[in-house]
Amino acid sequence: MQVAVWDTYVTKDDGSVMHFDIITPHEVKDTAVIYGYGKEYLETKGQESHTLTAAECRFCHIETVKPHWENEIRRKGYYIYEMENCS
């Protein structure tokens, strides 16, 4: 399975910047859907007041899915790869 990686940076309420990737099947190209996945994730982190636009979330590249991403992508449509300040 090929996946699209959407590089995302969101300034949290405390001023720190969250950096995470939204990983989706490469066929998903509708940015409203991608941003919706990011919004769902932000809600789980208590950051629901933030919106996602092209300013925060951009397509980065296509790669082969990692085995530990695949089950979650099949279950809910996407995987979040946390990198910085996501706690």
Distance of CA 81 to the CA centre of its chain: 7
Look up the CATH architecture of domain 2-84. Roll (3.10)
- How many helices (H) and strands (E) are present in the chain, helices listed first? 2, 4
> CA–CA separation, 25 vs 21, rounded Å?
13
Predicted confidence (pLDDT) per residue in 18-37, tens digit: 999 999 999 999 999 999 99
Please state whether the predicted TM-score (pTM) of the whole model is above 0.85: yes
| Inter-residue contact 79 to 6 (CB < 8 Å) | no
Three-class DSSP category at 35: helix
Tokens matching residue 40: 């769902």
Q: How confident is the model over 32-55, as a mean pLDDT?
A: 94
Tokens matching residue 86: 């996501």
Tokens matching residue 13: 């309420």
| Mean of all residue pLDDT scores within the chain | 96
